[in-house]
Amino acid sequence: MKMSIHESKNIIEAKNVFKTYGDSATNAVSGVSFSVPYGVCFGMLGPNGAGKSTMMKMIYGVCLRDKKENSAIKVFGHDPGVNALPIRFLSGIVPQEDNLDEELNVEQNLKVFCKFYNIRGEQADKRIAELLSFMELSEKQHHGIKQLSGGMKRRLIIARALLNNPRLLILDEPTTGLDPQVRHLIWDKLRHLKRDGMTILLTTHYMDEAFQICDTVFIMDKGKRVAEGDPQELVDKHIESYVMEIYSKESFSIISKDVSEKCCRVDESGDAVRIYSGDYEKLREFSKHLGIKDFNLRQSNLEDLFLKITGSGLNAQQ
């Protein structure tokens, strides 16, 4: 298939992409294809080492994909491996690491980027004030970077990525290491941006982050796609609606005969025994035999989907 991006409704098209680092025998990214339409929040979800950051870096051109026939990446119609500059001008990039300049204060960090985008004078001051207000950092305008908390630094990096009014915002693990309150604030801001028409591409290893803000999740493991779609639809389609997690094999043995007789699906991999069923009452009935601290009965989610497909958890070490 030949890509005709200018007629495309997709902002990003990736086709059969591979990336091998050095002489490594394993591919960090291995034959990945996907499209990101305009105006959606597209999340790459997977455990550490799945290849998400590598894929992201190939999209904005700081990492080159392996040269292969029939392999392509197009972003706004440009190949990031050949000409990344127009992509950078149309995008805002929030890298995983906090790369603010500690010699400069909050406002000066933004001013440097304004110069890069040729935003000058009053226009720059206005844009900086707007974005500091949007990210709830106005009172920090003249503070040094070392005086900011981790959450404030992250919000400042997002503000910096928005200076050029990008059509595409790319975020690599936007809330890793942040406390729940800041994570929710960042999710609210991303939802706001999406409502205003921005396309968002992010990586995360947090199932709840993908569930909360993504229209489409692209689930990766060991450099490959394992599932893709609307998060709720994926769960509804592939997983029983409820799961009882039992924290010890001894507790599970109390009810295991009932479970096998009543044909629930049991997953014993990982840190707990998980009993899956579409019938909440059936699981509730099993739970009556257990102590209150022995189990958790809940709706199933993307973590359960990942476990079913790969046999390991999203936060398991690779």
Note the residues at the interface with ligand ADP (CB under 6 A): 21, 28, 46, 48-54, 203
- Signed CA dihedral, 214, 217, 219, 220: sign only: negative
Burial of residue 187, with CB atoms counted within 10 A of its CB: 0-12 exposed, 13-18 middle, 19 or more buried? middle
* CB of residue 206 to ligand ADP, shortest distance in Å: 12
Which uninterrupted H or E stretch holds 45?
A: strand 41-45
Q: What is the number of alpha carbons within 13 Å of residue 182 lying toward its C-beta?
A: 16
Greatest Cα pair distance, the chain, in angstroms, is 74
* CB of residue 49 to ligand ADP, shortest distance in Å: 4
Nearest to 299 by CA among 233, 228, 240: 240
* CA–CA dist 196, 130 (Å, integer): 15
The full DSSP string for 223-252 is TEEEEEE-HHHHHHHHS-SEEEEES-HHHH
For ligand ADP, which is the closer residue by CB, 97 or 271?
Answer: 97
For ligand ADP, which is the closer residue by CB, 47 or 92?
Answer: 47
Q: In what order do the strands lie in the sheet with 72-75?
A: 29-37, 10-19, 72-75
For ligand ADP, which is the closer residue by CB, 46 or 166?
Answer: 46
For ligand ADP, which is the closer residue by CB, 46 or 231?
Answer: 46
- Supply the DSSP symbol for 139: G
* CB of residue 52 to ligand ADP, shortest distance in Å: 4
* CB of residue 46 to ligand ADP, shortest distance in Å: 5
Burial of residue 40, with CB atoms counted within 10 A of its CB: 0-12 exposed, 13-18 middle, 19 or more buried? middle
* CB of residue 27 to ligand ADP, shortest distance in Å: 8
* CB of residue 301 to ligand ADP, shortest distance in Å: 19
* CB of residue 48 to ligand ADP, shortest distance in Å: 4
* CB of residue 81 to ligand ADP, shortest distance in Å: 16
Name the residue with tokens 């982050």. 209
For ligand ADP, which is the closer residue by CB, 224 or 238?
Answer: 224
* Both structure tokens of 54: 């590598």
For ligand ADP, which is the closer residue by CB, 84 or 290?
Answer: 84
Q: Phi/psi zone of residue 189: left (φ > 0), alpha (ψ -120 to 50 degrees), beta?
A: alpha
For ligand ADP, which is the closer residue by CB, 218 or 252?
Answer: 218
